[in-house]
């Protein structure tokens, strides 16, 4: 899966995943989606973002949620 718009830099936003290195975090975008905002709504409110940024944030969140955690032996 290509997530070329998602950046993690320990010097930006405390190392949280951001959109294209902007100071807009993936978790913030996901919270907006969870609150019922559409991709179009988010882009309208944050014009530095693009619709594909929102979709990649959702893909990244889904990827993280699908990871399995194994119990320690």
Instruction: Determine the angle formed by the axes of helices 51-65 and 26-34, rounding to 10 degrees.
Output: 90
pTM: 0.86
Q: Please report where in the chains the tokens 């882009």 appear, as a residue.
A: 43
- Kindly report, residue by residue over 4-53, the tens digit of the pLDDT: 999 999 999 999 999 998 999 999 999 999 999 999 999 999 999 999 99
Tell me, what's the pLDDT at 73?
A: 54
């Amino acid at each position: 899966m290509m997530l070329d718009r998602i950046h993690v830099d320990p010097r930006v936003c405390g190392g949280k995943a951001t959109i294209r290195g902007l100071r807009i975090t993936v978790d913030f975008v996901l919270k907006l989606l969870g609150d019922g905002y559409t991709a179009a709504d988010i882009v309208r409110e944050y014009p530095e973002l693009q619709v594909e940024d929102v979709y990649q944030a959702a893909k990244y969140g889904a990827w993280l949620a699908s990871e399995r955690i194994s119990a320690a032996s």
